[in-house]
Chain A
Amino acid sequence: MREKNSIVEIWVYLSGSPLLALFITLAAFQVGLFVYQKSNQSPLANPVAIAVILVATFIQVIDMPYATYFQGAQFIHFLLGSATVSLAIPIYRGLDSLKKRSFPLFVSLLAGGGASILSAVGIATLLGADKTIIGAMYSKSVTAPIAMGIAERIGASPTLTAIFAVATGILGAILAPFVLNALGMKSWWQRGFPIGVAAHGLGTSRAFSINHEAGAYASLAMGMHGIVGAIAIPVLFHLFNS
C-alpha cells in the first residue's frame, strides 16, 4: 500500500510539473521523425501529424486535461513567435529571385491566396459547416505560426487554424505534383512557388527534397504569403463578416 502511495505521489508531482508535457511532446515528435525517415519521407507520414495523434491519445488515456498539458508545453509553443521572426532569413535569401520576377510572383501570390480563402470559406459555408470551423479556414494556407497569430486577431480558434494549416500542408505536399503536371508546369521555379503559396512549410520542405530551386521559390512564397496574409486576411474577414 505504501509503495502504491509513493508511485501516486511521484505521478502527481510529475503531471504537475512542465516536465511530463515537455517530455511527451519531444518524444512523440522523435517517434514521428523516425517513422518519417523510415517511410522514405513520405508526405503521408508527416511527423507533426504523428506527434499530435500520439500526444492527444496519451493525454486522453491518462486523463490529463488539455489545459494542464499546455501549461507545460507552452515553453515549446512560445518559440513559435521566435520561429516566425527567423523566417526573415529565408526571405532575405530569396530577395534576388524576387527582384528578378517581382511582378509575376506578386500576382501569383495574390491569385493563390485569394483562391485559397474564397474556395475554402465558400465550400465550407455551402456544405453547412459551423461558424467556428469557417473562421479557422481563413488563414489555413499561411504558415502555421503566422496563421495562428492571424486567427487570434480575427477571433477564430488558433487551435483549429493550426490543425487546418497542418492538414493543408500535408495535402498540398501530396497533391501538388499531380496538379502541376496536369497544368504542364515545367520550370522548377514555377513549380516551387505555387507549392509555397498553398502549402507553406510542409510544401516547402517537400519542394526542397525534389529540387533546390523549387524549394528556394517555395520558401520565398511561404514568407511572402505570411506577411501579405497577416495584413490582408483580417481585412477580408471583416469584409465577409460585416
Chain B
Amino acid sequence: MISGLVQILFFQSLGELVSKFVFPSLPGPVIGLVLLLIWLVINKKISESLAFVADGFSKYLGILFVPAAVGVVLFLPQLKANAVPIVGALVVSVILTIACSALVLKLLTKKTDTDA
C-alpha cells in the first residue's frame, strides 16, 4: 500500500510542477493522471500496491467531495433564488448528454459492430 501511495504522490507532485511551470491552464492532478497513465503504458502492468490504493480511492471517492460540498451553506440564499434555472438546467442537460452520447455510438457502430 505504501509503495502505491508513494507512486501516486510522486506523480501528483510531478503534475503540480508541470502545471506550475509548463501548462498553467491544466490542473496539476490531471497532468499527474496523464503522466501516471503514460508510465503504466510503458511499464505494461499495474503493481499490486498501486491497484490496492487506486481501488480504495475509487471505492470511497465520494467522501472526498464532502468538505467542499458542505460549502453549500455559503450559497443557500443564492441557490434558493435560482432554484428553477438550476433544476431545469441540471435535469434537461443530463438527459441530453446521455442521449447525444448514446445516439452517436448507435449511429457510428450500426454497420461495423456485430455484437450490438
Mutual binders A and B: yes
| Known A92-B46, A168-B94, A201-B61: A133·B85 in contact at CB below 8 Å | yes
- CB of B110 to closest CB in A, whole Å: 10
What size tier do the contact residues of chain A reach? Answer: 35 or more
Query: By the criterion CB–CB under 8 Å, are A111 and B104 in contact?
Result: yes
Most A-side CB within 10 Å, residue of B5, B63, B84: B63
Q: Which residues of A contact B69 (CB under 8 A)?
A: 48, 52, 159, 162-163, 166
Per DSSP, are chain A's interface residues mostly helix, strand or loop, or mixed?
A: helix
- CB of B37 to closest CB in A, whole Å: 4
* A82 close to B (CB within 8 Å): yes
Query: By the criterion CB–CB under 8 Å, are B99 and A159 in contact?
Result: no
Query: By the criterion CB–CB under 8 Å, are A197 and B70 in contact?
Result: no
Query: By the criterion CB–CB under 8 Å, are A159 and B85 in contact?
Result: no
Query: By the criterion CB–CB under 8 Å, are B72 and A159 in contact?
Result: yes
Chain A residues 155 to 203 lying within 8 A of chain B, measured CB to CB, are 157-160, 162-168, 171-172, 175-176, 179-180, 183-187, 190-191, 193-195, 197-199, 201-202
| Known A123-B89, A195-B98: A89·B68 in contact at CB below 8 Å | no
- CB of B12 to closest CB in A, whole Å: 5
Q: Which residues of B contact A195 (CB under 8 A)?
A: 98
Chain A residues 66 to 123 lying within 8 A of chain B, measured CB to CB, are 66, 69-70, 73-74, 76-77, 79-93, 95, 101, 103-105, 107-109, 111-116, 119-121, 123
| Known A66-B74, A193-B105: A86·B97 in contact at CB below 8 Å | no
- Residues of A whose CB lies within 8 Å of any CB of B are 21, 25-26, 28-29, 32, 46-48, 51-52, 55-56, 59-60, 66, 69-70, 73-74, 76-77, 79-93, 95, 101, 103-105, 107-109, 111-116, 119-121, 123-124, 126-130, 132-133, 137, 140-141, 144-146, 148-150, 152-153, 157-160, 162-168, 171-172, 175-176, 179-180, 183-187, 190-191, 193-195, 197-199, 201-202, 219, 221, 223, 226-227, 230-231, 234
Excluding A47-B62, A48-B62, 16 further A-B contacts by CB distance (< 8 Å) are: A46-B62, A89-B46, A104-B105, A104-B109, A112-B101, A115-B101, A123-B88, A124-B86, A144-B65, A146-B29, A159-B75, A162-B69, A175-B94, A193-B105, A194-B98, A197-B98
Q: List 16 A-B contacts (CB under 8 A).
A: A21-B67, A52-B70, A70-B71, A73-B70, A86-B53, A90-B58, A115-B99, A120-B90, A126-B85, A144-B65, A153-B25, A159-B69, A168-B93, A168-B94, A187-B115, A193-B101
- Residues of B whose CB lies within 8 Å of any CB of A are 5, 8-9, 11-12, 15, 25-30, 32-34, 36-37, 40-41, 46, 50-51, 53-55, 57-58, 61-75, 78-79, 81-82, 84-86, 88-106, 108-109, 113, 115-116
